[in-house]
């Protein structure tokens, strides 16, 4: 990408917060001024929302950049902050987790029960020889034990590394090896799409490939037959029999809390390391500020899996540190039917919902008559994370889920940032559909050109973070040099996030996707996100993925893969007509330079297991190449579907 990104799309709609929410918001507009006048004092104040065993001497030590130390000298226990202190404050009977299994079985876990389970698990891990600083792998379905296992590790100072339950033997084995882990916590299986799906065989094979693992702790969830080795112990025969008394010991603020692996585009997975005091300060504060959580009355639900950073920060650490009551759901959104999410919102009277654009677009494709069948009047704040949300998907979310009442917070962050960095505040910001708006109080963000100069309003370029932040990654596990090279070398003094972004005429921020995905068409840098959003703004389109394919005349040409909405006839001539109309629609919305050379109508798009579109594979199709690595695909049959569909469609 040279110089700046083209700025083609312009959005005029804007939605101010509802008056009552604004009047009672946890965080009001003055937070921005307060943070701007003394950033470190602002973060120190947020750290005081937590309970510290020993106060810190220094808020930030940035004497050896990019290696930050926050709340130096301070000591705290994360599990104490997420569990014990709520029980001590008299909230033991309060529900921490309303758990809903995919088959419809349920469990209610109060804060007092959570304390018991976490203490028991901490005692068991200690009995198994796990001590502070050891690494423990967690490979579990979305069951309460996943949160318990993470908190038990945190309680004894062990560093957890959660691996998403859909990942392969290979992925698990390399992570065990890289983290040099001693124990794996897993289950016989979990429920996916109406069936038990085994986890234990994957663990058996992965453990067999390394000599690192000494013990495997197995939760019985599905009752499936499992092979047994001398390393295995049942959770119900150990943890559930252990003493429920465990005294949490405080750890230094910079004590390692977890390693979470991100795949990235090339090379071996990066083990992103997060530590204790700064991480909890920012996850806790942002959860309080961005979702306006009122722990007494709200029911919060984040639909992410615990295997992603969203599950770490906004299912476990943020919400529990704030004493929230939350819903945790084990399964898929279409089991037993496509109304499952709305049925859960209705049943538990969910008031804050946090989900991903991929799900919102899937719901659009399924049609608005599905959410319309449910009572969603409990909802008061909606959140989005993971990808840019197209303006039309945002509007759909607000209209058909939020029923035109709720603010939407489009939250930009990364595994590396640990917590939300850019987002509207629901009681303050007049949000524009598709924009993450502004940096949160205490966060420094800019968009710069390839010379490192800040672009003016109306310009586009690279998103960078200009100041260290409390929940920043501390390094890549075992590879400080790669940490420096990946994030801190492209622009002197800035953290380079890898995303393109623009500032609109009011200075609001628009995320434009990964810079690797930017297209160069006749000398113009065009973001795939903008063309996708233009396509989704057509009423016949539910979802679109755009790539740049090599073109003899324009360098790259725009090729779009488009999923029509459920009720649209797209076969034969009607399909040809639609394609013509869509090409013109994009040209009209963004200008002729963005008119796709080719549009293909497809039934599905290739996505990673965390729901991001894999444009790399679509580029292979667009350039008639054989497909690259498909191992991280959520559904490996999708590419066959796309390729065969294209052949028959001429």
* Binding-site residue ranges for ATP: 386-388, 410-415, 499, 514
How far, in Å, CA of 143 to CA of 349, rounded? 20
Q: Of the ranges 68-76, 180-188, 225-233, 408-416, which one interacts with ligand WT7 (CB under 6 A)?
A: 408-416
When binding is defined by CB under 6 A, the residue of 610, 614, 622, 632 that contacts ligand WT7 is 610
Closest listed residue to residue 262, CA positions, set 62, 467, 483, 97: 483
Match 């360098």 to its residue by tokens: 555
The smaller minimum CB distance to ligand WT7, of residues 299 and 497, is found at 497
Q: Does 511 bind ligand WT7 (CB under 6 A)?
A: yes
Q: Of the ranges 71-79, 154-162, 307-315, 468-476, which one interacts with ligand WT7 (CB under 6 A)?
A: 307-315
Match 């919902």 to its residue by tokens: 353
Which residues sit in the known binding site? Answer: 192-195, 310, 386-388, 410-415, 499, 514, 522, 536, 538, 541
Nearest approach, Cβ of 269 to ligand WT7 (angstroms)? 12
The smaller minimum CB distance to ligand WT7, of residues 76 and 420, is found at 420
Nearest approach, Cβ of 260 to ligand WT7 (angstroms)? 9
Cα 553 from chain centroid (whole Å): 39
Q: How many residues bind ligand WT7 (CB under 6 A)?
A: 21
Q: Does 81 bind ligand WT7 (CB under 6 A)?
A: no
- Contacts of residue 548, defined as CB under 8 A and 6 or more positions apart, other chains included, come to 518, 519, 520, 521, 526, 528, 556, 557, 558, 559, 619
- Contact call for residues 217 and 120 (beta carbons, < 8 A): no
Provide DSSP, 74-104.
-EE-HHIIIIIHHIIIIITTSEEEEEE-TTS
Which positions from 427 through 486 interact with ligand WT7, judged by CB under 6 A? 436
The smaller minimum CB distance to ligand WT7, of residues 157 and 426, is found at 426
Residue 184, both tokens: 């794996």
Binding mask 262-301 for ligand WT7 (x = CB under 6 A): x---------------------------------------
Residue 406, both tokens: 């709720």
- Contact call for residues 106 and 100 (beta carbons, < 8 A): yes
Q: According to the 3-state scheme, what is the secondary structure of 382-405?
A: EEECCCCCCHHHHHHHHHHHCCCC
How far, in Å, CA of 494 to CA of 490, rounded? 8
Nearest approach, Cβ of 416 to ligand WT7 (angstroms)? 7
Give the length of the chain: 650
The smaller minimum CB distance to ligand WT7, of residues 6 and 410, is found at 410
Which positions from 179 through 208 interact with ligand WT7, judged by CB under 6 A? none
Strands (E), 175-245: 183-187, 189-192, 195-198, 215-219, 232-234
Nearest approach, Cβ of 355 to ligand WT7 (angstroms)? 11
Taking residue 6's Cβ as centre, other Cβ atoms within 10 Å add up to 21
- Contact call for residues 291 and 352 (beta carbons, < 8 A): yes
How far, in Å, CA of 255 to CA of 72, rounded? 11
Which positions from 374 through 403 interact with ligand WT7, judged by CB under 6 A? 385-388
How far, in Å, CA of 303 to CA of 287, rounded? 15
How far is CA 615 from each of CA 255, 394, 512, 528, 574, rounded to the nearest angstrom?
A: 38, 22, 14, 9, 27
Q: Does 634 bind ligand WT7 (CB under 6 A)?
A: no
Strand 408-410 relative to strand 445-448, pairing? unpaired
Q: Of the ranges 30-38, 203-211, 411-419, 596-604, which one interacts with ligand WT7 (CB under 6 A)?
A: 411-419
Residue 507, both tokens: 């200075």
The smaller minimum CB distance to ligand WT7, of residues 216 and 389, is found at 389
Nearest approach, Cβ of 268 to ligand WT7 (angstroms)? 16
Strands (E), 222-269: 232-234, 251-252, 256-262
Nearest approach, Cβ of 497 to ligand WT7 (angstroms)? 6
Q: Does 514 bind ligand WT7 (CB under 6 A)?
A: yes
Q: Of the ranges 156-164, 242-250, 306-314, 593-601, which one interacts with ligand WT7 (CB under 6 A)?
A: 306-314
Q: Does 309 bind ligand WT7 (CB under 6 A)?
A: yes
Q: Of the ranges 54-62, 236-244, 497-505, 518-526, which one interacts with ligand WT7 (CB under 6 A)?
A: 497-505
The smaller minimum CB distance to ligand WT7, of residues 80 and 317, is found at 317
The smaller minimum CB distance to ligand WT7, of residues 134 and 305, is found at 305
* Residue 132 main-chain phi, psi, to 5 deg: -55, 135
Q: Of the ranges 105-113, 117-125, 308-316, 442-450, which one interacts with ligand WT7 (CB under 6 A)?
A: 308-316
When binding is defined by CB under 6 A, the residue of 390, 415, 527, 562 that contacts ligand WT7 is 415
Nearest approach, Cβ of 393 to ligand WT7 (angstroms)? 12
The smaller minimum CB distance to ligand WT7, of residues 400 and 514, is found at 514
- Contact call for residues 280 and 317 (beta carbons, < 8 A): yes
Instruction: Find the radius of gyration of the CA atoms of the chain.
Output: 24
Angle subtended at Cα 497 by Cα 494 and Cα 499, rounded to the nearest 5 degrees? 130
Nearest approach, Cβ of 148 to ligand WT7 (angstroms)? 23
Which residues sit in the known binding site for Mg(2+)? Answer: 536, 538, 541
Q: Which helix (H) or strand (E) holds 360?
A: helix 357-366
Nearest approach, Cβ of 409 to ligand WT7 (angstroms)? 9
Nearest approach, Cβ of 277 to ligand WT7 (angstroms)? 21
When binding is defined by CB under 6 A, the residue of 161, 253, 310, 471 that contacts ligand WT7 is 310
Nearest approach, Cβ of 423 to ligand WT7 (angstroms)? 8
Taking residue 294's Cβ as centre, other Cβ atoms within 10 Å add up to 16
Q: Of the ranges 81-89, 304-312, 358-366, 533-541, which one interacts with ligand WT7 (CB under 6 A)?
A: 304-312
* Residue 203 main-chain phi, psi, to 5 deg: -65, -45
Nearest approach, Cβ of 511 to ligand WT7 (angstroms)? 3
Which residues sit in the known binding site for CoA? Answer: 192-195, 310, 522
Binding site for ligand WT7 (CB under 6 A): 262, 308-310, 385-388, 410-415, 436, 497-499, 511, 514, 610
């Amino acid at each position: 990408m040279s110089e700046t990104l083209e700025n083609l799309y312009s959005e005029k709609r804007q939605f101010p917060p509802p008056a009552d929410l604004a009047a009672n918001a946890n965080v009001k507009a003055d937070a921005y001024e307060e943070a701007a006048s003394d950033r470190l004092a602002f973060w120190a104040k947020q750290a005081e929302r937590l309970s510290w065993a020993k106060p810190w001497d220094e808020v930030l030590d940035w004497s050896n950049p990019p290696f930050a130390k926050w709340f130096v000298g301070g000591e705290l226990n994360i599990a104490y902050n997420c569990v014990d202190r709520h029980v001590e404050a008299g909230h033991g009977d309060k529900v921490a987790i309303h758990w809903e299994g995919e088959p419809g079985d349920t469990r209610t876990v109060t804060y007092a029960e959570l304390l018991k389970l976490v203490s028991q698990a901490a005692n068991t891990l200690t009995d198994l020889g796990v001590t502070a600083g050891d690494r423990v792998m967690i490979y579990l379905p979305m069951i309460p034990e996943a949160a318990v296992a993470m908190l038990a590790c945190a309680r004894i100072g062990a560093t957890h590394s959660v691996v998403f339950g859909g990942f392969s033997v290979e992925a698990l084995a390399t992570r065990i090896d890289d983290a040099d882990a001693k124990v794996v916590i897993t289950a016989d299986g979990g429920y996916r799409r109406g069936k038990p799906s085994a986890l234990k065989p994957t663990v058996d094979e992965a453990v067999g490939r390394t000599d690192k693992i000494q013990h495997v702790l197995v939760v019985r969830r599905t009752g499936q037959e499992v092979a047994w080795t001398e390393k295995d112990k049942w959770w119900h025969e150990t943890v559930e029999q252990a003493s429920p008394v465990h005294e949490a010991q405080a750890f230094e603020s910079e004590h390692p809390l977890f390693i979470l692996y991100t795949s990235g585009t090339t090379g071996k997975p990066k083990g992103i390391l997060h530590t204790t005091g700064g991480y909890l300060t920012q996850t806790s504060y942002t959860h309080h500020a961005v979702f306006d959580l009122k722990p007494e009355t709200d029911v919060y639900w984040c639909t992410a899996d615990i295997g992603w950073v969203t599950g770490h920060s906004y299912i476990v650490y943020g919400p529990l540190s704030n004493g929230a009551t939350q819903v945790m759901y084990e399964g898929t959104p279409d089991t037993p039917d496509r109304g499952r999410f709305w049925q859960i919102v209705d049943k538990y009277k969910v008031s804050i919902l946090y989900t991903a654009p991929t799900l919102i677009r899937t719901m659009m494709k399924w049609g608005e008559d599905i959410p319309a069948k449910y009572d969603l009047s409990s909802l008061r704040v909606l959140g989005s994370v993971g990808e840019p949300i197209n303006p039309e998907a945002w509007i759909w979310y607000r209209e058909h889920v939020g029923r035109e009442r709720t603010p939407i917070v489009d939250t930009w962050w990364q595994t590396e940032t640990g917590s939300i960095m850019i987002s509207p505040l629901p009681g303050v910001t007049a949000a524009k559909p598709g924009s993450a708006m502004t940096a949160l109080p205490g966060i420094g963000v800019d968009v710069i050109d390839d010379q490192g100069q800040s672009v003016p309003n109306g310009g586009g370029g690279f998103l960078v973070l200009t100041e260290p932040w409390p929940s920043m990654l501390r390094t890549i596990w075992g590879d400080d040099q790669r940490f420096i090279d990946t994030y801190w070398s492209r622009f002197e003094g800035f953290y380079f996030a890898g995303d393109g972004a623009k500032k609109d005429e009011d200075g609001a921020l628009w995320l434009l996707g990964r810079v690797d995905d930017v297209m160069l068409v006749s000398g113009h840098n065009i973001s795939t996100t903008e063309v996708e959003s233009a396509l989704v703004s057509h009423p016949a389109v539910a979802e679109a993925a755009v790539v740049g394919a090599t073109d003899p005349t324009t360098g790259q040409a725009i090729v779009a893969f488009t999923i029509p909405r459920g009720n649209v006839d797209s076969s034969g001539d009607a399909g040809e007509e639609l394609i013509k109309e869509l090409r013109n629609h994009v040209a009209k919305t963004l200008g002729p330079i963005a008119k796709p050379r080719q549009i293909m109508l497809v039934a599905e798009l290739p996505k990673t297991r965390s729901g991001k579109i894999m444009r790399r594979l679509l580029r292979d199709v667009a350039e008639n190449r054989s497909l690259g690595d498909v191992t991280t695909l959520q559904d490996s049959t999708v590419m066959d579907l796309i390729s065969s569909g294209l052949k028959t469609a001429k």
